């Protein structure tokens, strides 16, 4: 799961209490572990724990072997926000170093050079749009 700037700030304020990427993603995965998933339509997904709701949209991705992913990020030397949800890794680092921590396999791959974000995982990526108080129907369902 990748984060918009707004969602990142809301997570820091409401859950993580610190700005480091590792703490933000650790708080995010703790929240997802205790939440239930509500599919609104094909594009929108909401995770809620009854008090807070994380609103997400699906991102397009490609299924590639890890070697192909390594060749695509080879020329990148600046730090990116890198996410690997299967191993619960989320940090800001150079993508080539980040990919060294990932086991071989075929993964969904998403790269946004403009926003400097990289996603590698077994499921298609989600973009967290906002973290807000849960609405009444979300608390009841």
Residues 9-24: pLDDT tens digits?
Answer: 999 999 988 888 889 9
Write down the H helix ranges in the chain: 5-11, 21-33, 66-72, 95-99, 136-140
Tokens standing for residue 124:
């298609």
Tokens standing for residue 88:
């619960």
Q: What is the pTM of this model?
A: 0.90
Q: What is the mean pLDDT of residues 57-62?
A: 96
pLDDT tens across 82-112, in order? Answer: 999 998 999 999 999 999 999 999 999 999 9
Q: What is the mean pLDDT of residues 55-76?
A: 95
- Do 11 and 3 touch, CB atoms closer than 8 A? yes
In the chain, which residues fall in CATH 3.30.2310?
1-59+125-141
pLDDT exceeds 90 at position 53: yes
Q: Which CATH number fits domain 1-59+125-141: 3.30.70, 3.30.2310, 3.30.720, 1.10.150?
A: 3.30.2310
């Amino acid at each position: 799961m990748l984060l918009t700037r707004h969602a990142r700030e809301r997570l820091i304020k409401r859950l993580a209490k610190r700005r480091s990427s590792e703490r933000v993603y650790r708080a995010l995965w703790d929240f997802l572990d205790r939440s239930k998933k509500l599919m609104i339509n094909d594009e929108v997904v909401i995770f809620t724990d009854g008090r807070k709701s994380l609103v997400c949209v699906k991102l397009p991705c490609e299924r590639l072997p890890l070697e192909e992913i390594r060749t695509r990020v080879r020329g990148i030397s600046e730090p990116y926000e890198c996410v690997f949800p299967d191993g619960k890794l989320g940090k800001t680092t150079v993508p080539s170093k980040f990919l060294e921590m990932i086991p071989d396999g075929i993964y969904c791959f998403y790269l946004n050079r403009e926003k400097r974000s990289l996603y590698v995982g077994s499921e298609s990526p989600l973009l967290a749009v906002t973290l807000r108080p849960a609405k009444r129907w979300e608390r009841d369902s």
